[in-house]
Structure 1
């Protein structure tokens, strides 16, 4: 399982906000329900599938960029980002 998108330069492995976002100083991270990171643009660990329906769950979270936290420059406001989800079957 891979999430692809524009990676944050301040927080590698996290998704950068779209340019039209009013918020700033943050990035979006992806993780498994167990809290294991799902870095952007990197293939995740293989997961076993079973016959029939399968549910793959991921959680998103917002993290402040180190400089924005240090200088207290995180800007509030609407934000968005786009990630493409892809699966590779073996």
Structure 2
């Protein structure tokens, strides 16, 4: 993974973990990293509550989304598909497009 992408992924984990600890009331958190198809993905999934529906993202997530977009990546956040927690997923290219 190129150093610039590694830095973005580290920033993602730091921001997500901070949110889990400060806001989620989660008992468990899982962090997964994968590299495939020319992109790296980090997922942070917890069993907490997440923000109430309709809540605007905070400055940390907004800044993270901007950094990822500048590198050609994207940030997705929201309830887990089963509704039993919260999921943050960041995907960023590892090769120039």
Higher relative contact order (CA 8 A, sep 6+): 1
TM-score (norm 2): 0.28
Q: Whose Rg is larger?
A: 1
- Considering fraction of residues, name the structure with more strand: 2
TM-score, normalising length from structure 1? 0.30
* Greater share of residues in helix: 2
